[in-house]
Every structure is written in structure tokens, then in C-alpha cells.
Structure 1
Amino acid sequence: MKLELETISPVKIGTGEVQEIDRFNSAIIGYKLIVLNTKKIFREILDYKDIKSRLGKESIQELVPDEILNDEDYWKYSVPIQDPDTKEIFKRNNEVDPHILLPNNLVYLPGSSLKGALRTRLLYQYYVNNPSDWWYSRGNIERNPEKHFRLGQDNPKRDILKTIRVTDSNGIKPSKAGLIVPIRTSTIERGGYFNLKPWKELHFTIAPNKNFEFKIEVEEEKLRKMEDRWGNGDVKEMLGGYSEQDVLERLFEASNKMTIDRIERDLELFSSMKNKKELSKVIDSLEKIKESLNQAKTDFCIINIGFGVGRLGTTIQLAAKDKDVRKQLRGNYGRNWQRDLNRYFPKTRKLYTGSEEPMGELGWVKLERLK
């Protein structure tokens, strides 16, 4: 079954490696960040040995002639820059954290990221419905729910979610789908004030309103065999059935449940701040997502993926909004957790900004079936 993903806010999937875009391999031309093919430039234009000592003091943009910088034959790719403020930040910070790319330098979204986000939604549903099953140490709280998907045993061979495969998305040129944006960490200060930390990180993200295609496959026959051998009805209860249609409806249902709970919690937090006017665009963006979900049912789902989206803190603390679940957590984890859960939730959020103003949360996407 084919799925279409549309980005609602900037989405960032990191490379998992120390691989920065900086002043030694990129240049700014107008409102584009150009990542250069430095090997080709050093091989054909510059003698690396002669300029090695200068690279620590000068950027490659200062060393390479303009006609070379403007020649796309010497580019790897280009990415639009959000606004003049972003451009100035790069001049000061001289680095950008990159988005994951295909070998041909196209941006894409890994199927593993999407599947992981959907798995988290099913875990959230489990957390809410089964608070008594949580273990008695913070170190084990992430691992124990995996038994839920392994039909009661910590055995990867019995993992029913391995019967669900999600392909990587198609690739798109960074010049068409990318966007360099500033990202800042928000904190909750004493007295109920919202504060943005001064340090601004630049990130290569996928811009809002970009569309990607995935394919999801469910091994129905294998699911039925696992049910017969180990499940006793558990598989159908967890996934809603065995067909792609059944499984996708359950995933969408669980996803929208968590998204609505997450947004309501964030709206409650942001609206309670004494300086909430500074968050007006963030609040408006969340209200729009919430409004669209009122019509969702199982036709589509909205989730958040990638950088700036936590699992352990967000998922468990979000589930803990229920009084009975909170009581269970306090009993299991003692004073420290009791104290933490009485504070504002969440304590931090990664927000993308524009001209010093917070614009919204990262990673929101809409997922629906392709007709």
C-alpha cells in the first residue's frame, strides 16, 4: 500500500555522524547555501598544499573565484536559506547540521524513521492502557514494553512489528525540498515564563509543504501464524487485524490519539505562560493541527518525527497526564519522579524561529493513503 507524507513544519533527520556543513566546504550566494565539491575544486582550481595554512583563517568562499562559486559543476547541491536572519547566523556560526541524504545528494525520509514513529504511537497506547505493566526502574522502562510486541517474551523472533515493512521515501533535490532554519531550545523558567535560549543552531531541514511517497507492506500470512502459535488473540488486539488495511487503521488511530494528547498538553503549557504573546505563532500552528485532526478518524494521521521529538520523556510523561497512571509512576519511581511530574510539562521544546520569533515545533507531518 502506498502512503503520501506531507511535511507540516520543518523536518530534520540527522546523519548520525559528525558531518557538518561549514565555512570550509560551503558558500552563500544570495539566499542559497551552496555545498561545494571541494575535491574537484582542489584538484582543478586550487593547490591544497599552498592554501592549507590559510583555510584556518579564511573561508573557502574567500579563496575561490566567484566564477567558480557560481558554476554548478563545482556544487554538490544547494539549499534555500529561510530569511536574512538565518543568513547572518551562518556568517557568525559558520556551520549547519545536515539532513540525511541519499548517495546522489537527494533529500529523503528513511522508512525506519517513519516506522519508529508509528511504533512509538503503539507504545503510547500501551502505556496508557497498561500502567500496571511498567517495570520498577527507569532503566528498564524503555525495554519492557517491547515484550508487548513480542507476545509476552523478550524474544526478537516473536516481534510482530517485524512483519510490517516501510520503504524509504523517494528522493528530492535539496534545492526543491530543503530549507536552512534556525532552531532554538525553549525552556520554562520560574514564575511561569517562557524563554528561548540565546544560542541558535542552524539545521538543514525538509521544508514545510513537501510531499514524499512511502510503501508499507504487512506480511498477513506470517501474522496469522504468529497469532496461532503464540498470540491467543493478542496480535489482533494490538494491530486491529492482519491485513494492511486493518493494521494501517490501527496505526492511524493510535497516532492521532497521541498527537491530540500531545498538542493539548503543549497548548495548555504555552497558553499558561505569562509571556504567551511571544508564542502566538506556535500556538496558532498547533491549533490548526488539532482542528484538522477533528476530521481525521482513520483516513489520515498526523505525527511528529525526527530531530526535536523525544520518546522516553515525551511518551511516558504524556501518558502520565492520567491521574491513575501518574499515581502508578510515583509509586514506582519515587520522589524524583514525583517532583519532576509536578513541574511544567514539557520542560523544554525545540522550536524553529524566524527573525527572532518562535514559529513552531519541529517534525510535524501528515500521512495518508495514496488513492
Structure 2
Amino acid sequence: MKVKITTLSPIHIGSGKEISPIEFINNYRISFDRLCDLIYEKFGEKFFDFLNEEENLENLDAQKLIRKFNLNNNEVVKYCGIYRLNSILRRSTREALKVNHKLYIPGTSLKGSIRTALLYKVLKDDPIFLSNYLNNLLTKLKEMSFHKFESLMKSLDDKLIQRVFHYGKKNSNGFISYEDQQNDLMKLLYVSDSNSIEVEEHCSVDEIKVFAFNKDLPHLGFSIYAETIVPKTTFEFELRFNLDFVKEIAKKYKSQKKFIEDNFVDIDKKLLALFNIDIFKVDELDETSIIKNILDDLLNFGQEVSKVEAKYVNSLKNKTNFKFLSHIYDFDSKFKIGYGSGFHAMTIFPLLYTDRFRDMAQTLYQTLSIGRHRNKAPLNINQFPFTRKLKYNDRIEPLGWVTFSEYAEKFFTGEVQANVSTAPVTTTNKNNLQIKKDSILAEIIDDKSKPPKVKILEGDNEGKETILPGIKLDGLGLSVGSKVYVKLHFDKKNLQKAEFKGKAE
């Protein structure tokens, strides 16, 4: 089954590496290997003579080589450019995961979100099991010294995962083990990597700040920079469910019941709890319905995460620049992936936050010193986690929110309507187009480059040129000379790009 998702807010899935401004020329990332090949083609043995004489090869970078051999930047970009950013890289930045220098989302990211959502659903449907698990955990923690907590938590966490996702196997002594990773029922669900897309139109460099809970000026000094996938970017995945395995188990249940009960302990109960599969009605099942049920559970979990995050926004005393967060939390059909998803989206915290489990969670976190503030203030479970990571460029945005593409238009249409209803508007030409006050007039000056380029025609930035990513000109009947309304985006005071707002004529 093909599944498309669309990003609602910036997404960062890191490669584990950092990139530096010295790797870029004219906003193009330069392949060091290709650059060396180019220099050798031009200068032959002189290049090797230089390398032999260079005392500090480990600090040799692309820009030093370009200056040393007096290379033309445009020529370097033509032969050695890997991809172009639509943002200016000014400092070390966390690199986004790529394949063949293109952006993609690994299937493991989507599957990890699904696993957390299913864990949440199963435990929510069986509160007695979760209550007993937490009480047992607290009892064991009280009996142990603090330095052994980590190993205990790892062991008990593994057991929780096993009891939810693994079917068991009974040995000759009648002991049932759930530890075998091969018995993980999530193996029945296959999630492919997404398609890959060009960096230039879909990647930005964002500042990510850590924001504190319940503050007049709710941000801390710490920040990082990261390549992010921009909103309105669509990816496609392939999802499959191994229904043949389930049918084979159902068949053997009738003819080899003892074998199934010994080697697939509780598989019927766990298939029902996880995937809503009744093994005794297997002929009524189809793969598409099973996958749709799983994706519904993912959206339901996303709603619960959203409720927790929305409480954070509502707690802020100064909500200036936070309006977009309220809009995104008002939209139900979404879920989270990637960096900055937060403690609540990567754990079952939204369930522990409920009235039934809040006191136990408070005691557990205090015992483990989770959520302890630097000022040693006592943990308040209603303000946990104490901080959030948010994009902090032209507007403040949460990280990691995506939706299934069939819902995306509703979200972005709602965003435009929300903006227009609260912002001052100006009546323009015969089309009676209403645009926001912060939109300005620009002219398309290059419709062949990717992304196209515009010149600003009014305001403080009149005469400046910039790129216009995320738009297909031919689909809108636009070409060189066309006038458009745009919103300008800046990195500090430097013009980064223009965002299309509408046709001016």
C-alpha cells in the first residue's frame, strides 16, 4: 500500500555529521573529491607537488584549494557542486540524512513512530497491566541503590516491550520466554524508505532554540543549527503487512493447537491488541484494512501528543510569535517524526499524564531524577518536560509534525485563512486580491534556474535579488517579467529567500 505524508513543520532527521560553511561556495556544497579531480585535470603534477609540500593536510579545505589555485567559483560549482541550499550557511550545522545527496525519510523513522503509537494504544486499553507494571517498577527502585537504576530501567523497559510486541515460547519445563527478537510482531509490518527529493527546493537551515516552560521570555541561550526539510514537502512510502503469516498461524491453530500454544504463546491476544486482528476470523481480513487501522492509531496518538504540547503553549505568559503553534495544535490529523519530537512523542508520556497515572509518574520521575531543573526546583509533572526545542527563524515553529497528504490541503488552507483573518489586508488590482500587509511586490527575473529568482520591487529591500523555492511557475502561468507578491525570509538580517503569496496581475 502506497502512503504519502506531507510535512507541516520543519523536519530534521540527522546524518550524525556536521557541515561547515567552508564546504560551500555560492551556497553549493562542494565535493572535495571532485574538486581534487578538477585541480589535477588543470594542473597535473603541480597539484601533487603542492600536497607533498603542504604541512597541514588534515586542515585542508575546499576554499583553501580554490584560493591556492585561483579557481573560478562558477566553474567549481559547475563541476563540483553536489547540491544547493536556499539558505546561507554561517556556522557548523547538523546535516540532514541524505541518499545520493538527496533528502529522504528512512522507513525506520516512520515505523518507530508507529511502534510508539501502538504501545500507547495497547497500554491505554489495558490500564490494569500498566498500573501493575508501574507499581512493580517503583517497588524495585526503592529496594535498589541509585547507581543501579539505569540497568534496572533498561531491563524492565525491555520486558515491557516484549510483553506488548513479542509472542512467547514455552520450554520443556513450562517456562514462557518473550525475549526472542524474532518473535516481535512488528516484523509483520514492512515500511520502506521514502522516495528521495532534491535538496535545493526542500531544504533550509534553521536555528533551533530550547524554550523553557512558563516564562515571560520563554527561551534559553542554547541553540543549534540544522538542515531541515521544509513544510509542504511530500514523501511516499510503501507499507506492507504479512497477512500470510497470520493466515498460516490460524490454519495451524485448528490442526496443531498444542504446537501453537507452546511456540506462539499469546499470539492471538497480541494480534488482537496491536492490530485488531481476530485470528479466528482471518478470512474476513485484508491487508489494506489492517494498515489503515494502524495509521488511524498513529493519528490518534498524534492527537494525544498534540494535547500535551498545546498545554505548554497555553502556559506561556508572552505568546508573541507563538500564534502558528496554536494553529498547528488545532489541527487533529497529524503525528511526529524526527529530531525534536520531544519526550512526549517518543514515549507513552501522554498516557502517564492522565489522572489515573499522574501521581505514579510524578513519583517515578522524582525517584529517577528525571526532569530535575538546574535551579533544583522540585519536579512538577504538569510542567514536564520543562523545555521544548522549536525552530526560531522568521517565526517560531514546532519540529517534526507531518500528516497524511490527503489532509494537508485542509491544514494549509486553514493556515492561510487564519493568517488573513488576523492580519491587516490591502485591496490590490482588478482581481481584488487580498494579501497580508507583510507581503511585498517582486518580479520574476529567472524562470530557468532551480529554484526561480525574483527581484524585490518595493520596500527596504528594493532592488535585491533572491530565490523563490517551493513553486512551479508553469503551473501558475508565471514566467520572466511576471509580478508576484512574496513574503521575505531572513537569517538574522540577511535575506534568505522569498515565499510565494499570490499573483499580482
- TM-score grouping bracket, smaller chain normalisation: 0.7 to 0.9
- Please tell me whether residue 363 in structure 1 is matched to residue 384 in structure 2: no
Equivalent pairs counted in the alignment come to 339
Q: Distance in 1 between matches of 2:209 and 2:366?
A: 32
- 1:98 corresponds to 2:108: no
Matched, 1:35 2:29: yes
Q: Distance in 2 between matches of 1:345 and 1:331?
A: 13
Unaligned stretches of 5+ in structure 2?
41-46, 138-151, 169-177, 254-259, 278-284, 372-377, 408-505
1:30-68 C-alpha deviation (Å, 9 max, x unpaired): xxx311011222333384636775996997177364434
Change (3 A) 1:134 1:140: farther
In 1: Cα distance, 2:210 partner to 2:248 partner: 47
Change in CA separation of 1:368 and 1:207 when aligned onto 2, cut-off 3 Å: closer
Matched ranges for 1:176-255 at <5 A: 176-188=201-213, 192-193=215-216, 195-226=218-249, 228=253, 229=260, 230=264, 231-241=267-277, 243-255=286-298
Letter in 2 for 1:318: P
Aligned-pair CA distance for 1:257: 1.9
Q: TM-score, normalised by structure 1?
A: 0.80
Distance 1:306 1:120 in 2: 13
Alignment of 1:1-371 (within 5 A): 1-15=1-15, 17=16, 19-27=17-25, 29=26, 33-45=27-39, 47=47, 49=51, 53=56, 60=63, 63=67, 65-68=71-74, 71-81=77-87, 87=88, 90-91=89-90, 94-102=91-99, 104-130=100-126, 131-134=130-133, 136=137, 138-147=153-162, 148-151=164-167, 153-188=178-213, 192-193=215-216, 195-226=218-249, 228=253, 229=260, 230=264, 231-241=267-277, 243-287=286-330, 289-290=331-332, 293=333, 302-310=334-342, 315-330=347-362, 335=367, 336=369, 340-355=379-394, 357-358=395-396, 360-367=397-404
Counterpart CA distance in 2 for 1:247 and 1:95 is 44
Alpha-carbon separation, structure 1, partners of 2:361 and 2:102: 44
- The separation in 2 between residues aligned to 1:196 and 1:346, in whole angstroms, is 14
Contact residue 4 and residue 237 of structure 2 kept, 8 A: yes
How far the C-alpha of 1:141 sits from its partner, in A, is: 4.9
**TM-score normalised by length of structure 2:** 0.60
After superposition, give the CA deviation of every residue in 1:295-340 in whole Å (9 maximum; x if it has no partner). Answer: xxxxxxx211011124578523221121112234356666456953
Give the structure, 1 or 2, with the largest relative contact order (CA under 8 Å, sep 6 or more).
Answer: 1
Identify if the C-alpha distance between structure 1 residues 183 and 331 changes in structure 2 by more than 3 Å, giving closer, same or farther: closer
Summarize the Cα distance change of 1:69–1:183 in structure 2 as closer, same or farther, 3 Å threshold: farther
Report the structure number with the largest CA radius of gyration: 2
Alpha-carbon separation, structure 1, partners of 2:38 and 2:94: 28
Q: Which residue of structure 2 lines up, in the alignment, with residue 84 of structure 1? A: none
Q: Which amino acid aligns with 1:317?
A: F
Amino acid at match of 1:134: Y
Pair 1:6–1:346, CA change in 2 (3 A): same
Contact 1:121 1:258 in 2 (8 A): yes
Structure 1 unaligned spans of 5+: 82-86, 294-301
SS at match of 2:96: coil
TM-fit CA distance, 1:226: 4.7
Deviations 1:101-153 (A, max 9, x none): 11x21111111111111111111223333322535154345323322110352
Cα deviation for residue 163 of structure 1 reads 0.9
CA contact (8 A) 1:125 1:254 kept: yes
Percent identity reads 19
Task: Kindly indicate whether the alpha-carbon contact (under 8 Å) linking 2:204 and 2:230 is maintained by their aligned counterparts in 1.
Answer: yes
3-state SS, counterpart of residue 234 of structure 1: helix
- Contact 1:188 / 1:194 at 8 angstroms: preserved in 2? no
1:181 positional shift: 1.6
Partners of 2:57 and 2:244 lie apart in 1 by: 63
Deviates more, 1:45-54 or 1:159-168: 45-54
**1:188 positional shift:** 2.2
In structure 2, the residue corresponding to 1:97 is in which secondary structure? strand
Please name the residue that 1:296 is paired with: none
Change (3 A) 1:73 1:128: same
One-letter code aligned to 1:78:
R
Check 1:210–1:326 CA distance in 2 against 1; reply closer, same or farther (3 A cut).
same
Q: Aligned partners of 1:123, 1:344: CA distance in 2, in Å?
A: 23
For the Cα contact (< 8 Å) 2:38–2:79, is it kept in 1?
no
